Amino acid sequence: MLLTSDASSPQLLTRGNAARKGCQVDPALLNPLHPSHDHWMAAAIALAEIAAAEGDIPVGAIVVDRHGQAIAQANNRKQRDGDPTGHAEILALRAAGQSRQNWHLNDCTLYVTLEPCPMCAGGLIHARLGLLVFGTADRKTGAIQSVLNLPASAASNHRLPIISGVLADRCQAQLQDWFAQRRATIHH
């Protein structure tokens, strides 16, 4: 596996015995350079654009099952819905569980443009998610690698395979553009 020291290149953050722990995603997906990662992250970026257009921080999330089918997708709706839990990951996990009538998502991959916060990291653990793939790191509230590593902490009963840095530059630019635009609006 080709890994570089460039933080914006996709990396597998967790290794080891994902399969023995009940993870049922295709082991080929644990390769950070698997082509489907770029495909689904691009789709998540498009979802994030919907959030941006509606006044929410641009974050998008998609849940893909073991057959490579998207079973749920969501964008951040916190502002629009006045919902403190309205993050893209929570909404996508909820929709995925409802679509299957089963909260157990250990054969699924969740793609999200931004590193999950503590609330969303908790949701991923509760779902026994098979694989998390995220775009850019969140230095302020990231609970996967930046501030905390909640899935690897003593509070977690689920070892979550994680790939970071997929289309990270695009995900980061989308967020930066949104914040720059908002600052410009406030100042005028």
Which positions touch Zn ion (CB under 5 A)? 87, 117, 119-120
Other CB atoms within a 10 A radius of the CB of residue 28 amount to 8
CB of 36 to Zn ion, least distance (A): 23
For residue 89, indicate whether it is catalytic. yes
Q: Comparing C-alpha atoms, which of 140, 185, 142, 187 is closest to residue 164?
A: 142
Does residue 139 contact residue 117 with C-beta atoms inside 8 Å? no
Compute the least distance from the CB of residue 157 to Zn ion, in Å: 20
User: Which C-beta is closer to Zn ion: that of 30 or that of 111?
Assistant: 111
Q: Are strands 11-12 and 60-64 parallel, antiparallel or unpaired?
A: unpaired
- Catalytic, out of 49, 54, 89, 115: 89
Nearest-approach distance from CB 64 to Zn ion, in angstroms: 19
Run of H or E residues at 164:
strand 162-164
CB count in 10 Å sphere of residue 109: 26
Q: Which residues are catalytic?
A: 89
